[in-house]
Amino acid sequence: MEDKYIVVVGGLNLDIAGLSDNNYHEKDSNIGKISLSVGGVGQNIAQNLTRLEAPTYLITVYGDDSFGEILEKECQKNQINLDHAEKIPGENSSTYLYVANDQGDMVTAINDMSIVKQMTPRFLEKKLDFINNAEMLVLDGNISQESIEYLAQHVTVPIFVDPVSIAKVGKFRHVLDKIDTIKPNDLEAELLTGVKVIDCETGKEAAHQLNLKGVKNVFISLGKKGILCSRHDEEPTLIPPMAETIISTNGAGDCTMATIAWARFYYGDVLPLKEIGQLSQAAASITVESPLSVSEELNIKNIVHRSTKYMEII
């Protein structure tokens, strides 16, 4: 076992992606490409972390079906350690189906993630010592509120949170003071704070409210405007996007979360939030220029190069 490692608790899915060619038409059959890949917010974050050379353990569940065999093999190939994950007999592995239009934006998705219900507080209690010996816990919002609140009360290392979606962000409402770092989008931030985020200024107010509720570091994704970074002792700052072209936005948020966690893993609290934001936007730009949810071009060298190039431009 590594002396220093990151634990990710979250979803592991088999992703089926449909990417439309030019001239996408809603409610019609569209010409495009269909691909099969390993996904899930937790897995995506873990895979991005291993590409950034951070030893990573994924605590999750998967079935003993054919999809589960694929998931095991892919995690092994991507150096994601599943020693503390569990294969559940008789259960179907989690599956996620999504379709992106000709602009690369997701237009619809269906997820079959009922197996995640197996990640109960009792399940997590067996993993607690291992989690508390990590450098940090990265937690996605796919597990139950009961399990999230259990971890918030019992985990002693910094907790990093990706809320995942509007439907799931409310699970974190009662444990914000236990969270070190959170990365919501504008709508998720609004649900947590009551502040309607429509621009940078209202984004700063929402971030400030999250800081007041106890979250030390806040990164609010504002889509095409970029990412807003806020820490209780630093002036909030907006880092604009760096992508030159966009093929698919799927996985960009997971890459951003992974890069934020990686920056803490390697640099501790030394880096200003602005620099962390720049690195995360550089990483996200590499992801959106790829049809994959985790880009094969993602590595430390490429992130630093793109971030440095951005700094030279501004």
pLDDT above 70 as % of the chain: 98
Alpha helix ranges (H) inside the chain: 41-51, 66-77, 121-125, 128-132, 145-154, 166-169, 186-193, 200-212, 252-267, 273-288, 300-313
Name residues whose C-beta falls within 8 Å of residue 306's C-beta, 6 or more positions apart in sequence: 242, 282, 285, 286
Q: What's the burial of 121, exposed, middle or buried (CB within 10 Å: 0-12/13-18/19+)?
A: middle
* CA–CA gap between residue 297 and residue 294 (Å, rounded): 9
pTM given for the model:
0.90
Is residue 4 a contact partner of residue 22, using CB atoms and an 8 Å limit? no
**CA 275, 268, 292, 95 torsion-angle sign:** negative
* CA–CA gap between residue 102 and residue 257 (Å, rounded): 26
Helix axes 273-288, 300-313, angle to 10 degrees: 110
Q: What are phi and psi of 253, to 5 degrees?
A: -65, -35
pLDDT confidence bin for 111, thresholds 50/70/90: confident
Question: Which pLDDT value is given to residue 313?
Answer: 53
pLDDT confidence bin for 312, thresholds 50/70/90: low
Q: What's the burial of 291, exposed, middle or buried (CB within 10 Å: 0-12/13-18/19+)?
A: middle
Question: Which pLDDT value is given to residue 287?
Answer: 94
* CA–CA gap between residue 115 and residue 103 (Å, rounded): 32
**CA 271, 133, 162, 230 torsion-angle sign:** negative
Is residue 302 a contact partner of residue 281, using CB atoms and an 8 Å limit? no
pLDDT confidence bin for 206, thresholds 50/70/90: very high
* Region 292-309 average pLDDT: 91
C-alpha separations of 3 from 9, 106, 124 in Å: 19, 39, 21
* Higher-pLDDT residue of 28, 269: 28
* Region 42-66 average pLDDT: 97
Nearest to 9 by CA among 219, 192, 150, 218: 150
Question: Which pLDDT value is given to residue 249?
Answer: 87
Question: Which pLDDT value is given to residue 235?
Answer: 84
C-alpha separations of 34 from 15, 194, 231, 245 in Å: 10, 39, 41, 21
- Asked whether the predicted pLDDT for residue 6 surpasses 80, the reply is yes
Helix axes 200-212, 186-193, angle to 10 degrees: 50
Amino acid at the residue 134: A
Of the candidate ranges 51-65, 236-250, 270-284, 300-314, the one whose mean pLDDT is the lowest: 300-314
Nearest to 284 by CA among 222, 212, 230: 222
For the segment 248-296, what is each residue's pLDDT rounded down to a tens digit?
888 899 999 999 999 999 999 889 999 999 999 999 999 999 988 899 9
pLDDT confidence bin for 180, thresholds 50/70/90: very high
Question: Which pLDDT value is given to residue 17?
Answer: 87
Question: Which pLDDT value is given to residue 303?
Answer: 95
* Higher-pLDDT residue of 153, 290: 153
pLDDT confidence bin for 311, thresholds 50/70/90: low
* Region 118-146 average pLDDT: 97
